[in-house]
Amino acid sequence: MGTAKKAMFGGLRRWWGILTFLLLIAAWKDSTVGPAVVLALSVVTLLWCAFQAPVACGAPVRGRSDGCRNNAYGLMLGCRQVRQHTFANLRLLFVRRQVREFCKDLFSDGVHVVVTLAGIGSFLSGLVAFVPGIAR
Ligand SMILES: [Zn+2]
């Protein structure tokens, strides 16, 4: 618990996507902020979730039920310590078309859930900001 917390806050630099996500929520509440700002925040948050968020790699490892615990690079990429893991998620999604398996990974632990929800939230907000008329 103690070490997990330390790792989380020690790596605050890698958690900037949460900050942009909070800014995004603030931007939605503030009616003076234009849709261009909302769209920009949505895009960077979404990119962070997909390619930067420090989630656990989760690639299958023989003898471990919870898979690889190295830090990965976003929901789309795996860790860089093991070469086969780096693109394991993308392969799962696009080559093997195991969408259900991929989606299961998105909710495999607390960090994944937070990042996944931030990703979904920013995607929807970007969509709404992009379509004029819905926003406000
Ligand atoms: Zn890995």
Ligand 1 centre distance from Cα of residue 104 (Å): 16
Cα(64) to ligand 1 centroid in Å equals 12
% of the chain at pLDDT higher than 70: 88
Position 65 confidence tier, pLDDT thresholds 50, 70, 90: confident
Domains of the chain by residue range:
2-130
| Mean model confidence pLDDT for the chain | 88
Distance between Cα 65 and ligand 1 center (Å)? 13
In the predicted structure, residue 9 carries a pLDDT above the cut 80: no
For residue 75, how far is its CA from the centre of ligand 1 (angstroms)?
A: 12
- 21 vs 67: CA distance, rounded Å: 28
